[in-house]
Structure 1
Amino acid sequence: MQIPTQIVRRLAAVRVRVEDVDERFVRGTGPGGQKINKTSSTVWLRHGPSGTEVRCQAGRSQTANREQAWSELCDRLEELQRAAKAEQRHEREVERRRNRQKSRAQKARMVDAKKHRSRTKSARGRVNRFD
C-alpha cells in the first residue's frame, strides 16, 4: 500500500526515511465484540531510530487507521525535532549569558556585597575587653 504524498513530504522534512518505520496490522482491543477481535484493522507503527511508537484503532477501516497513524507519527516526530531545536537554542542562550561581561554597576554591587559579608563575618569574632 502506498503512503500519501503529504505524509512522505512531512517525513522528508524531519529527515525520516519510510524504510526506518516498521508497520504492522494487529487485532484491536476493547469494545466491539467479534468484529474487533477477528479483524486486523489496528495499525501499529514504530520508528526504529527514535523508538517512537504509534498505535491507531480509531475506526473500523484499516486504511483510515493507517492514514491517521502515519499522521500521528509525523506529529510526534515533528514535536521531537522542535523540542531538540528548542533545547539547543536554550543551551546557546545560556552559554551566551554565561560568557557575557559584567557591567561596572554589577561589579560595584558585587564588591559592596563582598565587603558587607566581610564585615558581618568579622563581627562574629572574639570581642577584646579592655578593662
Structure 2
Amino acid sequence: MNKESIEKEMERLGIREEDLIEKFILGAGKGGQKVNKTSSCVYLKHIPTQIEVKCQQERSRELNRLLARRILCEKIAFKIHQEKTKKQQAEEKIKRQKKRRSRRLKQKILDEKKRHGAIKKLREKVEEDN
C-alpha cells in the first residue's frame, strides 16, 4: 500500500490528479478531542465518474489521503471493468448466506429431501417370514 503502487494503479485506470477534488474535513466519532480538532478526514471526488470517497481510518492526514485514493481506485475499477476486490467478494458472499430463501426454493428443497428419503427407505433390509 505504498504511494508508488497507488500511483501505478491510478495511471492504469486513467485517473489523473487534475480530475480529483480533494477536501480535508474535521474528523468525528471516536478518538477524543484530537480527532475533533484536526482536519484529518479526507474527501475525494472523481469529476468524470462522480464517485465520492471519504476516509478517516487513521489519525494521519497523509495516510488517509493514500487510503482514500486506494478506495477510489477500487470503486472505479469496479465501475469500469467490473473487477471486484476480495473485500467486495467477501461482503457479497456474506449477503448471499444471510439472504432468505423464497417459498418456491424452500418447497423445492423439501421435495428433494422427501425424494431422497424415499430412496433411502428402499435400501432397508427386508424381513423374512419364517
| Residue equivalent to 1:56 | 55
The answer as to whether partners of 1:11 and 1:74 remain within 8 angstroms in 2 is yes
- Report the AA paired with residue 33 of structure 1: G
For residue 32 of structure 1, report the CA deviation from its aligned partner.
Answer: 2.3
Q: Detail structure 1 runs of 4+ shifted over 6 Å in the superposition.
A: none
When Rg is computed on C-alpha atoms for both structures, the one with the higher figure is 1
| Residue equivalent to 2:16 | 17
Query: Aligned partners of 1:65, 1:53: CA distance in 2, in Å?
Result: 14
Query: Aligned partners of 1:67, 1:16: CA distance in 2, in Å?
Result: 14
For residue 24 of structure 1, report the CA deviation from its aligned partner.
Answer: 1.2
User: What is the DSSP-based 3-state SS (H/G/I as helix, E as strand, rest coil) of the residue aligned with 1:60?
Assistant: coil
Query: Aligned partners of 1:12, 1:27: CA distance in 2, in Å?
Result: 29
2:72 maps to 1:73: yes
User: What is the DSSP-based 3-state SS (H/G/I as helix, E as strand, rest coil) of the residue aligned with 1:32?
Assistant: coil
The answer as to whether partners of 1:28 and 1:36 remain within 8 angstroms in 2 is yes
Aligned residues: 82
Q: TM-score, normalised by structure 2?
A: 0.58
- Report the AA paired with residue 37 of structure 2: K
Q: CA RMSD in A?
A: 1.8
User: What is the DSSP-based 3-state SS (H/G/I as helix, E as strand, rest coil) of the residue aligned with 2:82?
Assistant: helix
- 1:24-43 equivalent positions in 2, closer than 5 A: 24-43=23-42
Query: Aligned partners of 1:5, 1:22: CA distance in 2, in Å?
Result: 20
Query: Aligned partners of 1:5, 1:26: CA distance in 2, in Å?
Result: 25
The answer as to whether partners of 1:8 and 1:18 remain within 8 angstroms in 2 is no
Query: Aligned partners of 2:58, 2:14: CA distance in 1, in Å?
Result: 29
Encode CA deviations 1:1-46: one digit per residue, 9 max, x unaligned: xx92222211111112111011111111112232111101111110
- Report the AA paired with residue 61 of structure 1: S
Q: TM-score, normalised by structure 1?
A: 0.57
- The runs of 5 or more residues in structure 2 that have no matched partner are 84-130
Q: Percent identity?
A: 39
- The runs of 5 or more residues in structure 1 that have no matched partner are 85-131
